[in-house]
Amino acid sequence: MSAVLIDGKARAAALRRDVAAGVEAFVAAHGRAPGLTVVLVGDDPASAVYVGSKGKATREAGMISGEYRLPAATPEAELLALIAALNADPAVDGILVQMPLPRHIDSDRVIAAIDPAKDVDGLHPVNTGLLVSGRKGLVPCTPSGCLMLIEEAIGTIAGAEALVIGRSILVGKPMAALLLNRSATVTVAHSRTRDLAAHVARADIVVAAVGIPGMVKGEWIKPGACVIDVGINRVALPDGKTRLVGDVDFDGAVKRAGRITPVPGGVGPMTIACLLANTLKAATART
């Protein structure tokens, strides 16, 4: 048996087309395009690449892309003042502060300063509370994309045994809430979980988001399970080159799973697509 690969690139492309069509309708109705502003503090190379990709995708969807690149030494008070200004700007529908922030800045304070209605990362405590209580709000992009891939791959989730490996506010915790809201039976595991293999072996759905290369062994996977690998880890090869791998031992898992996301090309493309969808959603809700 060999698993069917879940094509995140194709699903993300379809979502981006839907968003672009929605933006056209929004412009026709309101005479302006939705606006997404991204704030980057510091010069982390990976973060700079992500910010550039987000800006390009925003413009391709027909939305207005704003960008602030601040020095790493920017005082926290200055960043909070910028966020306050963006909260008050009617042309800005979505605000995203790129993480991680420099150590002298309190990330929780920054996230809490963003208007929940413009929090397209879905991390504000208000949006977290709405998600946990099963009410409508802005949902973190990566788990939202994972849910779309799962539902498209297997249909109904109700009653399924779902295992989320990882407990971050970015992926693990919101992913568990999303699955629970779809009536799955959800277990949350992490790097300190005892007998992780036994938990994996019971799961109809496995979402791995722990950041440890190959932590989930292929032989643990329940035959026919749906495996969503959120991990993106760069590992060194014997010849001195590097390659990207996930948190799941893909070569082993593909022989047992029913559906599985590759790394790269699985979950990654969905994150930016869902960011665009959140921005359109935020703009529509504010009109």
Residue showing tokens 């056209």: 24
pLDDT at 1: 61
> In which residue ranges of the chain is pLDDT below 70?
1
pLDDT at 44: 83
Q: Which fold has domain 140-268?
A: Rossmann fold (3.40.50)
In the set 54, 118, 173, 222, the catalytic residue is 54
In the set 98, 119, 229, 247, the catalytic residue is 98
Report domain extents, the chain. 31-115, 140-268
In the set 121, 204, 229, 249, the catalytic residue is 121
Whether 98 is catalytic: yes
Q: Where are the alpha helices (DSSP H) in 114-247?
A: 125-132, 141-154, 172-181, 196-202
Structure tokens belonging to residue 62: 């027909």
In whole angstroms, what separates CA 126 from the centre of its chain?
18
pLDDT at 170: 94
pLDDT at 241: 87
Query: What is the full DSSP assignment across 209-251?
Result: -S--TT-B-GGGSPTT-EEEE---EEEE-TTS-EEEE-SB-HH
pLDDT tens by residue, 153-196: 999 999 999 999 999 999 999 999 999 999 999 999 999 999 99
Amino acid at 253: A
pLDDT at 49: 85
Q: What is the CATH number of domain 31-115?
A: 3.40.50.10860
Rounded distance between C-alpha atoms, residue 215 and residue 248, angstroms: 6
Q: Do domains 31-115 and 140-268 have the same CATH topology?
A: yes
pLDDT at 237: 86
Whether 222 is catalytic: no
Q: What is the pTM of this model?
A: 0.95
